[in-house]
Chain A
Amino acid sequence: MLKEYQTIREISGPLVLVEEVEGAKYEELVQVQLPSMETRTGRVLEVDHDKALIQLFEGTTGVDIHKSKVRFLGRGIQLGVSPDILGRVFDGLGRPIDDGPEILPDKKLDINGSPINPYARDYPEEFIQTGISAIDGLNTLVRGQKLPIFSASGLPHNRLAAQIARQAKVLGEGEKFAVVFAAMGITFEEANYFVEEFRKTGAIDRAILFLNLASDPALERVATPRMALTAAEYLAFDLEMHVLIILTDMTNYCEALREISAARKEIPGRRGYPGYLYTDLSTIYERAGKIKGKKGSITQIPVLTMPEDDKTHPIPDLTGYITEGQIILSRVLHKKNISPPIDVLPSLSRLKDKGIGVGKTREDHADTFNQLFAAYARGKEAQELAVILGEAALTELDKLYFDFADTFERRYVSQGEYEDRSIEETLDLGWELLKVFPEAELKRIRPEWLEKYLPRFKKDREEEEAA
């Protein structure tokens, strides 16, 4: 029988201070029983002599000093796992909310996990085809990568995330695949969109959902991504599945963290976020990857909304320093009706170089994507120049680039929500767009690829023109 303490001394915000405690441990799980017999869960943030500082996930509403009872459970927060968790929906603290039966766990895992030994990691290099040209062609995703979507309020990041979850596949393999979805503080409608998407495509049977909605306790969000990642690690490294995990919205997570930090009166870092935000985020993002000798993998797509569309805000900034690239959505493109509105110039996939080329995508991939980038960048520059000086001031060549930037956005970046382009189609489309340039301009493409591929598309154009 666990000892019950009725020695709460202070309650402030989400924090509760308990005194005269014996043997409390840092990070220990705590249950508080309210006078109404309701129980709340929390964890120990600090122990100092006989005082334990506890953070309650569901808030402190209704907790009092005299009658509430505190129990220390002697373990950290855990998630019970078994193969039955597939296809289930849980709340932000891992309790089933889908009217299904209780999970009979095979084992219980600490949700904080342990860092993967860098020596045990396997380098991610298997190309994942998402069917979206702006990603496959220019910001290639590979298995075991963490590639966040930097979005802003009002942009269709959820549609993009759902499209990736729906279409993502590794070419030529029929391996076990699962999706883990963690919602942090998003609205019911947004969450419902994902649930319906998964249901429509039948993906729900191989998905696990952890839902902490906007109306749910905010501090629960601190645990939600760790619940989801623990489930993902179990699927990947115990059941040998390839897991795609979507975490949305990380901005809400960081705000919950800030709330706790503020309640503890810690010295704030930038914009009031705690100084350890980088370390904390890394313990989430770094749980993606592959391990040598194990079949499964964890690929992460965190979604975050940039406050004021500002990429230098601490949340996107620190995220960008940890993740392996970023997909940035642009309001300007969205207004131009380019969908998905991926801003390809500042977007980046750091792991693409090892995931593309012969045997993975196609030999000409690296060169053509460099060329497309350079051409689009120059086209954008020409467009800026034209704004100031007028189109007439552009040289012939600059005009070519000017037009290219437009065509590129309309045909390459933009595509239907249910359009699933193969990598061949994407690469061919690249050539199709590049053929407008004189060969001397295609400096970034090796002569052998120019010789091999260009005539095919040039010929098409000549035929078109003849017709």
Chain B
Amino acid sequence: MMDQGIIVKVSGPLVVADKMKNARMYDVVRVSEQRLVGEIIEIHGDLASIQVYEETGGIGPGEPVYLTGQPLSVELGPGLIESIYDGIQRPLDVIQKKVGDFLLRGVDAPGLSREKKWPFKPLKKPGDKVMSGDIIGEVPETELVMHRIMIPPGVQGEIVSIEEGEFTVEEPVCQVKDAEGNTRDISMMQRWPVRIPRPYVKKLAPLEPLITGQRVVDTFFPVAKGGTACVPGPFGSGKTVIQHQLAKWSDADIIIYVGCGERGNEMTDVLMEFPELLDPRSGKPLMKRTVLIANTSNMPVAAREASVYTGITLGEYFRDMGFKVALMADSTSRWAEAMREISGRLEEMPGEEGYPAYLGTRIAEFYERSGRVICAGSDGREGSLTTIGAVSPPGGDLSDPVVQATLRVVKVFWSLEDKLAYQRHFPAISWLNSYSLYTENLDDYFRNEVHEDFAALRQKAIRLLQQEAELSEIVKLVGIDALSPSDRLILETSRSLREDFLHQNAFHEIDTYCSLEKCYRLLKLILTLHDKSEQLLHEGIPFKEIQAMKVRETIARARYVDEHELDKMDEIHREIEEESQKFIDEGE
């Protein structure tokens, strides 16, 4: 006989039930005969407050609440990749087959298919000693992902038997005998409560950049593998396009994309596009490394609150296998708003803007679950989880509590500006306000892997752009003619930096992805031309003529050079040389 309580109050997504003696915080319950999923979030004596992950219309006092005694957990195992889940890991494709095109209540479907058989190949043999986190075998989940089956946390001992073959996720593939002589079946699936971080051995400082193929990100404000970043911006400034671009082109092994309280059509876009897009490194469809979590804005608000935890737990699981995982959460503001709504219904004392007082703590805890770690297990493998959260502050106002709480924890800040978006400068990441605290950690990498003077070029470009901002103020007051030729050259080069380098067209087949090598070469071209022009000015060539150099137009089109034809950039260098030599020759 299952433990059960009785509903006494219903107010939106919040249900209060009486006779809940055995209730534990954050345990999952089933509400009413429709068995709606809910979670206990407050206990007063025998009264328990429950946030319900489905619409509560038609529910009333007197109906039963069933306790499950389990915290909200996700199922981890083969079958996650290419799935699309709602906020509490119900597979949306399976639900559609079950109940049709609209989401109805009380539908149950396990996160991992119970029928599908996966080919399991053992990597250990009987007699091997194993501890939790050790990889005992692998399953080719997709063309891109070799799923590693690990000993679940809390288990260790000696392998008694291990079998190769086709298994479902519930069937045992291995038996482990612990020190007390108890044997335990190990299947390919584990469960983990979403609100608890998965264990690892040790956290390490992030030293490698997450290469995203976006010039402004990779060159100016890079994020490290295992790092954290946030993208705040008003609506229409392109947050979602940036998140999509990162999900598409980042050099991570696994992408977890959480659509948290956002538009349904955006998820459809990802679903339709990712299977067609090819990963530039492996040539395989991007969907083969992606897990989607879609809790759109019109889906129940409490499940939205859970969706980011579901996402990050999946991320940690793949990190534990030794993968480099990147998680995109779009948008964390909707998550915070879900917290606020539930908090309001609980009649908690509000903090800023009605958000609960624990907002900052929850946000910090969430981002802190990312990192580069030595994974659990005896082989000391490394894995990383990078978290990139979009924030949607009201009116684009960065004093919003969610933005402020986020900025306190994340290391990279990509500030989106609507002014840039109106000029159709995309990605609309402000080069003046954004920052990355990883640049110093990563500069060694850039120096060794790309080029010795990579960091120097970046600094120079940023300095030029800062000078441009100051000079534009002067121009606004006294007109451009009042500037010295060398100042005008700074404006000209900065314009080129903005239009030909920072601006990147996500919808152009070549421009959408830019390798580090190409970034470097483009930047080098623009700055070489700047140096040359400075020299020419020095020689007494009028600014107008330098400004009219033909090679400027060639540089403007250089970003459309195919990745395989980067040698063409060398030709442009020669062009710069020749054209400036011509000036000097004519001068003499």
- Which A positions have Cβ atoms within 8 angstroms of B? 22-28, 45-50, 75-76, 110, 112-124, 144-145, 237, 266-270, 275-276, 278-279, 282-283, 285-287, 289, 291-292, 294, 311-314, 317-318, 320-322, 324-326, 345-346, 348, 350-351, 353-354, 366, 370, 373-374, 377, 385, 388-389, 393, 395, 440, 443
Q: Which residues of A contact B268 (CB under 8 A)?
A: 118, 121-123
Q: How many contacts A-B (CB < 8 Å)?
A: 210
B424 interface residue, CB < 8 Å from A? yes
- Are A395 and B480 in contact, CB atoms less than 8 angstroms apart? yes
CB pair B395–A26 under 8 Å, yes or no, is: no
Q: Is B22 an interface residue when CB atoms closer than 8 A count as contact?
A: no
Interface contacts beyond A24-B60, A270-B353, A314-B394: sample of 11 additional A-B pairs, CB < 8 Å, sorted by A: A25-B59, A26-B59, A48-B16, A117-B101, A121-B265, A268-B354, A279-B261, A279-B297, A292-B101, A353-B507, A385-B475
Given A26-B60, A275-B344, decide whether A289 and B265 contact each other with a Cβ distance below 8 A: yes
Q: Known contacts A26-B60, A443-B556; is A278 also within 8 Å of B297 by CB?
A: yes
Most buried by B among A25, A26, A144: A26
What residues of B have a CB within 8 angstroms of the CB of A279 in the complex? Answer: 261, 297-298, 301, 337-338, 341
Inter-chain contact A324/B92, CB cutoff 8 Å? no
Interface residues of B (CB under 8 A from A): 8-12, 16, 55-62, 84, 92-93, 95-96, 100-104, 234-236, 259, 261, 263-265, 267-269, 271-272, 294, 296-299, 301, 334, 337-338, 340-341, 344, 350, 353-354, 392, 394-397, 418, 421-424, 475-481, 499, 507, 553, 556-557
Neighbouring A residues of B271 by C-beta, 8 Å: 118-119
Q: Which residue of A lies closest to B481 (CB)?
A: A393
Instruction: Give complex CA distance A46, B294 in Å.
Output: 29
**Are B62 and A23 in touch, CB under 8 angstroms?**
yes
Residue numbers in B under 8 Å from A353 (CB-CB):
507
Sampled A-B contacts (9; CB under 8 Å): A26-B11, A48-B11, A49-B9, A116-B264, A119-B96, A237-B101, A312-B394, A317-B234, A395-B480
Residue pair A286, B337 in contact (C-beta under 8 Å): no
Which residue of B234, B297, B344, B507 contacts A286 across the interface (Cβ within 8 Å)? Answer: B297
CB distance from A68 to the nearest CB of B (A): 22
Q: Are B95 and A112 in contact (CB under 8 A)?
A: no
- Determine if A114 and B11 form an interchain contact, defined as CB atoms under 8 angstroms apart: no
A177–B234 Cα gap in the complex (Å)?
Answer: 35
Contact partners of B265 in chain A: CB under 8 A: 121, 123-124, 144-145, 289, 324, 351
Alpha-carbon separation in the docked complex, A116 to B267 (Å): 12
- The answer, among A28, A110, A318, A324, for a CB contact under 8 Å with B60, is A28
Q: Within 8 Å CB of A320, what residues of B?
A: 234-236
CA distance in complex: A22, B12 (Å): 19
Interchain CB contact under 8 A, B60 and A115: no
Contact of B340 among A24, A120, A275 (CB under 8 A): A275
Tell whether, in the assembled complex, residue B301 and residue A276 are in contact, meaning their CB atoms are under 8 Å apart.
yes
Contact call B101/A116, Cβ cutoff below 8 A: yes
Q: Given contacts A267-B354, A294-B101, is CB(A112)–CB(B476) below 8 Å?
A: no
- Taken together as a complex, chains A and B put the C-alpha atoms of A351 and B241 apart, in Å, by 11
Contact B269–A123 (Cβ < 8 Å): yes
Determine the chain A residues whose CB is within 8 A of the CB of B264 once the complex forms: 115-116, 118, 121, 286, 289
Task: Tell me the bound Cα distance from A182 to B507 in angstroms.
Answer: 36
B9 proximity list for chain A (CB < 8 A): 46-49
- Other-chain contact of B58, A25, A46, A144, A285 (Cβ < 8 Å): A25
Q: By CB atoms of chain A within 10 A, which of B12, B264, B272 has the most? A: B264
Question: Is B236 a contact of A276 with CB atoms below 8 Å?
Answer: no
Output the least CB separation between B203 and chain A (Å): 35
- Which A residues are CB-close (under 8 A) to B475? 385
User: Known: A116-B101, A389-B479. Is A322-B297 also a contact (CB below 8 A)?
Assistant: yes
